[in-house]
Amino acid sequence: MKRYCCSLFILLSIYSSCLFAQQHMETKILGNAESVSKQNNVLVIKTKESEARIWIYSPTIIRVNISKVHSADTSFAVIQKPAEKLEYSESTNELLINTGSLKLSISKSPLRFSFYTTDNKVLSEDDARFGTNWQGTKVVNYRKLYKDEKFIGLGEKTGDLNRRGSSYINWNSDVPDHTPKSDPLYETFPFFVGLHNGLTYGLFFDNTHKSYFDFGASTDDTMSWFGADAGDMNYYFFGAQSVSKIIEDYTWLTGRMQMPPLWSLGYQQCRWSYMSAEEVLNIAETFHKEKIPADVIYCDIDYMDHYKIFTWNKTTFANPKAFIDQLKSMNFHLVTIVDPGIKVEPGYKQYDEGVAKNYFATYPNGEKYVGSVWPGRCHFPDFFRDDVRKWWGASFTALTEPGVEGFWNDMNEPAAWGQNIPSIVKFGDYYMPEVRNVYGMEMARATFEGTKKLLGNKRPFVLTRAAYSGTQRYSAVWTGDNSAYDAHMLLGQRLVNSLGITGMSLVGVDIGGFTGDPTPELMVRWNSLGVYTPMFRNHAMQGTKYREPWRWGKENEAIIKKDIEQRYKLLPYIYSGYYQSHQTGLPLSRTLAINYTQDTSVFNTKYQNQFLFGDALLVAPVESTRFTEDVYLPAGEWYRLSNGEKFTGSKAVHVEAPLNNLPVFVKAGGIIPMQNVIQSTNEKGDGILELNVWYGKEANSFVYYEDDGSSYNYENGEYYKREIYFDPAKSTISLSAVEGSFTSKYNKIKLVMHGFKGNIKTFKVNGKAVKIWPDAEHGTDYSLIDNNSKPIIIIY
């Protein structure tokens, strides 16, 4: 018996080692083209084991999809259809597509893809040795790396502006306590821009599985690579020759933001948590008492009854309607948090409905998945289903009926304590690993679509923590649980700038840092940067010191207040900036790499946090412990916003940077519409639009845009839009005729001309001579002009 057992054991070991040998992962290469055909608008190339399909989406966008098994062709991100026509030529070794703006050359043996400009400069190409291949289900594309190649993009990723030499993983994760080096974070944007040899290209890898990007980090600088655990090698290649045009193309493909509610652009006060309606009202009242402008206040998880989504705590928030009415009477809009986890509790409406209708994620045997979050044991809605999204959207009546107008979607990576949602958890036909990276976006979509319906013609404000490419269509994002130290403030700025490249314009960070307590200096400095952050929200973790503007001593409060006032003055400019995002996808906060792509200094890690805020302003973030700073000013002339001092660019300048004066510069020729200080966006103000123009040697223009700030009437032409031109050669400023049927809330335009004295003697505004009139404030000159499409009258 013993001998028998022994031989059985030996046999079993041999068998299992054979099995092990067989399980070694095999690398499958793409191979050679065996057949080529055109099926309508798709070029189909078959190899022994796979099939490549190519579509043209626009003259500057070509899609390549390489797959072993072509399944349903769906995308959560892409909203466009390919062009109807595709033409190609074929020779013995090559297939060639020329769109007129971009060339794709496909070598047949082995099958490799190379993109060129139409004048035959190579933009990007497969690594000749490896191209695309598979290991098990994992698919990877290896690309040739050019000596001077830089990479920007990938959205919410830590590290430097230039991603060369770094590698990243996309796997939406709840990462409290993340550091300026952590990866992955909460969001997935598999889109980057490559720069080399004076050329630009973009690449969007539309694959929702866990994905990997390596920009020459571990390849001896010979190649870059990207891939995913499963799914297709499915990418869109962008060949436009400027970063802004590539962003325009990427957001054409994946959608652009709608106009946000104007109130969401004002100052936002948040905290985990204001514990009762009384406390929230107190905070709101203090803003009024201290005359600090604000528009938004938040309720974090404690407004709910035991953290049950779509409920109110019956004791501390006993009468939500009366509470919100009071907030409204003080011109505050309320935003409340919602998490995806529905508490397992029979008798709780959303639990009962979800169970009855089978709306929750399951295991393969049909059992509902349970993960623990704030409410304890939870089920997770399957946001990939239309009926579930509708149900979720309709559940917001509990919040919209009493008057909530903003909806903060959190914990939607999805987060469950322990972070390890099993791979066999199913959302309908999808297993978790396939759709984890899009769960947050689909939740934000359900929230946006549902609340938009419930609010009638009013714009909801939606904010989400987890996201995938395309989220800009539904929601703003913030960068999650940051920390109260300087490196995090600077990281936050890079994240905001990087998210801008991937189509997210309305982006915020927790001003002051979520965890830890900022020093008063850091709070003041971070708040001043908040003025130039697309979404200006102060937020902090439970247990930290209170963060509101008046908690930092009178002197600091005065600085914080002045900065918040500056945000309100800039709102006409900021709102026009969002119109630009809505129209072209160009973000409000722009890394300098967008406009000054070929200037290597902008990638210098010393200056990499600097950004343009809209068309005209350059902002240099400064640590809270430094009171002077080296700022790199790109080509052209620049004026310090605070005192009009003029600088010549293409060099670094050393400037004063006290806590009350963040280095902010205006580009010569810059046009910035401003207004007087108001206490909230609900206030009308003095009716004067202050049109600031800074003298420059080159002509410039600005699209001014205004609408009611709250409804969708702008979609039917109810807006006020006019272009403002400044032409130094002709000594003129002209305002185009008004487009749209909206009546501006500003009756008059006050023209404020900076730096004109000595440069121009006579000046005309829409054909009429204006006198250049000295003003006490750093030598500016101004005139008043009637607005609202009446003939322009200059008033001295």
Considering beta carbons, is residue 112 or 465 the nearer one to ligand GLC?
465
Is position 174 annotated as part of the catalytic site? no
Contact residues for 758 (Cβ-Cβ < 8 A; gap 6+) = none
- What would the two tokens of residue 196 be? 């080399």
The residue with its CB nearest to ligand GLC is 272
Closest separation in Å from C-beta 576 to ligand GLC? 30
Interacting residues with ligand GLC (CB under 6 A): 176, 272, 300-301, 337, 410, 465, 480-481
Strands (E), 382-466: 406-409, 426-427, 430-431, 461-464
Q: How far is residue 752's CA from residue 693's CA, in Å, rounded to a whole number?
A: 6
Closest separation in Å from C-beta 316 to ligand GLC? 16
Considering beta carbons, is residue 176 or 422 the nearer one to ligand GLC?
176
Q: Which residues pair with residue 27 across a beta bridge? A: 135
First-to-final CA distance of the chain? 113
The phi-psi region of residue 276 (left if phi > 0; otherwise alpha if psi is between -120 and 50; otherwise beta) is beta
Q: How far is residue 276's CA from residue 3's CA, in Å, rounded to a whole number?
A: 76
Considering beta carbons, is residue 205 or 307 the nearer one to ligand GLC?
307
Considering beta carbons, is residue 206 or 410 the nearer one to ligand GLC?
410
Closest separation in Å from C-beta 298 to ligand GLC? 9
The catalytic residue among 413, 449, 510, 637 is: 413
Considering beta carbons, is residue 337 or 571 the nearer one to ligand GLC?
337
Distance of CA 653 to the CA centre of its chain: 30
Closest separation in Å from C-beta 515 to ligand GLC? 9
Closest separation in Å from C-beta 308 to ligand GLC? 14
Closest separation in Å from C-beta 524 to ligand GLC? 22
Residue 118, helix vs strand vs coil: coil
Closest separation in Å from C-beta 176 to ligand GLC? 6
With residue 630 as reference, give the H or E element that holds it: strand 628-633
The catalytic residue among 125, 248, 481, 557 is: 481
Nearest to 242 by CA among 751, 728, 488, 586: 586
Nearest to 536 by CA among 567, 505, 558: 567
Is position 630 annotated as part of the catalytic site? no
Q: How far is residue 514's CA from residue 491's CA, in Å, rounded to a whole number?
A: 14
The catalytic residue among 214, 232, 410, 434 is: 410
Contact residues for 700 (Cβ-Cβ < 8 A; gap 6+) = 669, 670, 671, 725, 726
Taking residue 762's Cβ as centre, other Cβ atoms within 10 Å add up to 9
Closest separation in Å from C-beta 300 to ligand GLC? 5
Is position 382 annotated as part of the catalytic site? no
Considering beta carbons, is residue 279 or 723 the nearer one to ligand GLC?
279
CB neighbour burial string for 658-685, b if at least 16 within 10 angstroms, e if fewer: ebbbbbbbbbbbbbbbbbebbbbbbeeb
Q: Are 551 and 565 in contact (CB under 8 A)?
A: no
| Secondary structure percentages of the chain, helix, strand, coil, to 5 | 25, 30, 45
Q: How far is residue 317's CA from residue 336's CA, in Å, rounded to a whole number?
A: 12
Considering beta carbons, is residue 463 or 659 the nearer one to ligand GLC?
463
- Residue 544 CA: distances (Å) to CA of 483, 516, 540: 11, 6, 7
Considering beta carbons, is residue 164 or 537 the nearer one to ligand GLC?
537
Catalytically annotated residues: 410, 413, 481
